Amino acid sequence: MSHPNAPLTPAGRRRLCERIDAGRPIAHVAAEAGVSRRCVAKWYARWQQDGPDGLIDRSSAPDRTPGRTPTDIEDLIEALRRSTKYGPARLAAELQRLHAITVAPATIHRILVRRGISRLRDIDPPTGEQLREVVRFEHESPGAMIHVDVKKLGRIPAGGGWRIHGRGTDAHRTSKRIGPGTGRVGYTYLHSAVDDHSRLAYTEALDDEKGDTAADFWRRAARFFAEHGITTIRRALTDNGACYRSRAWATAVDETSTEHRRTRPYTPRTNGKVERFNGTLAREWAYIREYSSEEQRRQALTDFLNHYNHERPHASLGHKPPASRVPLATYRLTAGGITMPTVHRTEQLSFDSMTA
């Protein structure tokens, strides 16, 4: 491709060649175009030999590269990259250790670039296969699709866990003994529902992922979305977890006249919006600071959800919050008896009452 300041393009070269074919001297044509006679002569010779194809820029790569790394070694480097995910320096060391082959890290990097695997995001972490093209979709209106999922987190023992005291320390072991039962702290199950169109999200930290628990969560989630003007939920998308195959879940979904859809087995990307929200929960709420107890972390969930839904900019929404896409954006979750004003109903639901 011609550089930005090139005086001639393939179309311009053709016009010059046609003028010469019409009888104009090469020197006159070159002077009129503001280029050297030698340049015009070069393109005219190619025009005579190859026609229009001769006026296209050619690669500057040499016809032969005797010093290039053999193909079989390049194949070996690619196989190591996909199986180990190592960078050029470690791949060079592995080649020397396993196969007694010396290749410079800079050369390995060029090979990875040529083969399209120089960045880890280009290959699938578990398998090393080339990643598929991402297919993104968005439903046309709020309530057209709600993504539902459960994420399991380790509970925080009384006094704080290893993130505060350090893994394996005396204080860490003591904090585990303070907890209920025999010192097994257990897990918190985050049940989340995310609206496909607006990305409006609702999450509850519950004690299990049984069918009855998931069903009750769905009913409260439907009330939450109704508070934002989403009174009709047409579809709910979940994975194939046991709680979503239970009769209790089916009954709850029927109560809201919602069609239940499931992802293909072992295909979490189909439910990508709630999967991405799970990652946001972990980064921006669950592990963003040190909590002294599980109760303290759960109490912080209310503020996070209000921030996420009403203040946090979302890249896919033009850097606007999810509440900018719902009919009613004044509702806020509350905790500790704090009631925020709302314009569409006199009785405000509290976060505590919705998780009771």
Give per-residue pLDDT as tens, 115-124: 989 888 777 6
Report which listed range, 83-92, 129-138, 266-275, is most confident.
83-92
* pLDDT beyond 50 at 255: yes
* pLDDT beyond 60 at 351: no
Question: Running DSSP on this structure, what letter comes out for residue 250?
Answer: H
- In this structure, the chain runs to a length of 356
Tell me the average pLDDT across 177-181.
51
Exposed/middle/buried for 34, CB within 10 Å: 0-12, 13-18, 19+? exposed
Closest among 236, 225, 229 to 144, alpha carbons compared: 236
Q: Which residues contact 276 (CB under 8 A, 6 or more apart)?
A: none
Note the pLDDT of residue 65: 83
Judged by DSSP in three states, 273 sits in: helix
Closest among 251, 237, 173, 248 to 208, alpha carbons compared: 248
Note the pLDDT of residue 267: 79
Helices (H), 143-293: 162-165, 170-178, 211-227, 247-255, 272-281
Closest among 35, 6, 4 to 19, alpha carbons compared: 35
Sheet holding 201-206, edge to edge: 201-206, 187-195, 146-154, 235-238, 259-262
Exposed/middle/buried for 181, CB within 10 Å: 0-12, 13-18, 19+? exposed
**Per-chain mean pLDDT for the chain:** 84
Question: Running DSSP on this structure, what letter comes out for residue 284?
Answer: I
On whether the CB atoms of residues 147 and 274 are closer than 8 A, the answer is: yes
Judged by DSSP in three states, 265 sits in: coil
Residue spans of the domains in the chain: they are 10-55, 71-122, 146-354
Residue 351 φ then ψ, to 5°:
-65, -40
Tell me the two tokens of residue 96: 């020397």
Q: Which long-range contacts (CB under 8 A, 24 or more apart) does 297-300 make?
A: 297/156, 297/205, 298/188, 298/205, 299/335, 299/336
Q: For the domain bounded by 146-354, which CATH number is listed?
A: 3.30.420.10
* pLDDT beyond 50 at 182: no
Pairwise pLDDT comparison (341 vs 143), residue with the higher score = 143
Q: For residues 50 and 11, give the distance between their C-alpha atoms in angstroms, rounded to a whole number.
A: 15
Tell me the two tokens of residue 317: 């929404």
Note the pLDDT of residue 179: 52
37-93, pLDDT tens digit by residue? 999 999 999 999 999 999 998 888 888 888 889 999 999 999 999 888 899 999 999
Note the pLDDT of residue 87: 92
On whether the CB atoms of residues 214 and 244 are closer than 8 A, the answer is: yes
